[in-house]
Amino acid sequence: MMTASSDFRLPRLRGLCLAALLTMTAAASQAALFSDDEARRAILEVRQRVDTLQQRQADDVTQLRRSVLDMQRQIETLRSDVARLTGQNEQLVREASELQRKQKDMAQGVDERLRQFEPVQVTVDGQQFQADPAEQRDFDAALAQFRAGQFPEARKAFAAFVNSYPKSGYVPSARFWLGNTQYAGRDYKEAIANFRSMLTAVPNHERAPEATLSIANCQIEMKDTRAARKTLEELLKAYPNSEAAVAAKDRLARLK
């Protein structure tokens, strides 16, 4: 059974308990409120960090793209430089090759010009001697005219040759052919003079028998039978084994 003092203490105890409960509730509310603020701040910090990282990544990507583009431009520039240098190198190679060809042509031209003035060893009618290229050219040209039947032109050419190159080894042969052109032109006296000049200079010349026979022919054309017979007899005596000796015998037989 409860006493009076017990009844007095019960409400008071209830009040204290209620106050304590309210105090605890307020403290819990404050603690919860404090936790929510910290969470918000943490979330904001994380978001800020994420944004910062994203911005940095975007900046890095942009910078990387710029670097790649710059590298591509540098590569294209290098390719262009390589192509240009390759073209220049090919051009230089072509120019060097062309220069070498021109130098070779020039050297050959110089050699050819020098050879035009250098004596050459020639053999004409069994005679060997040194002759200038100009002598060889002029003699061959005159002989070509004779063989083509151009006797007036050949006569002028051989006469000019004898006057231009009086000491040439070609002179005996030139006089022989000059005499033949004169014979063809019926200038028998001049022909005989050239044949005799040849025989006097080179009596053992390969064409000496023919020259002697030609003198006899000129004399026959001039109706000088006695002189012709004497010349033919000299031919048979000097060149008995020559082909001209066979013709000389036939001429002598006819003269009788």
Residue 184 pLDDT: 95
The number of beta carbons lying within 10 Å of the beta carbon of residue 255 is 13
Asked whether residue 221 is assigned to any structural domain, the reply reads yes
Structural domain harbouring 231: 125-255
Asked whether residue 110 is assigned to any structural domain, the reply reads no
**DSSP string covering 122-148, please?**
EEETTEEEEE-HHHHHHHHHHHHHHHT
For the whole prediction, is pTM greater than 0.85?
no
Asked whether residue 247 is assigned to any structural domain, the reply reads yes
Average of per-residue pLDDT across 137-142: 97
Asked whether residue 66 is assigned to any structural domain, the reply reads no
> Percent of the chain, pLDDT > 90?
52
Segments of 94-202 assigned E as strands: 120-124, 127-131
Task: Give tens-digit pLDDT for 184-218.
Answer: 999 999 999 999 999 999 999 999 999 999 999 99
Q: Per-residue pLDDT for 108 more than 90?
A: no
Residue 200 pLDDT: 95
CATH number at residue 225: 1.25.40.10
What token pair was written down for 24? 């605890």
Measured CA to CA in angstroms, residue 72 lies from 67, 69, 195 at distances of: 8, 5, 94
The number of distinct structural domains making up the chain is 1
Task: Give tens-digit pLDDT for 233-248.
Answer: 999 999 999 999 999 9
Asked whether residue 192 is assigned to any structural domain, the reply reads yes
Average of per-residue pLDDT across 72-82: 81
Asked whether residue 249 is assigned to any structural domain, the reply reads yes
Average of per-residue pLDDT across 2-28: 56
Asked whether residue 34 is assigned to any structural domain, the reply reads no
Q: Per-residue pLDDT for 154 more than 80?
A: yes
In the structure, what pLDDT confidence band is assigned to residue 16 with cuts at 50, 70 and 90? Answer: low
Cβ-based neighbours of 219, under 8 Å, separated by 6 or more:
188, 192, 225, 227, 228, 231
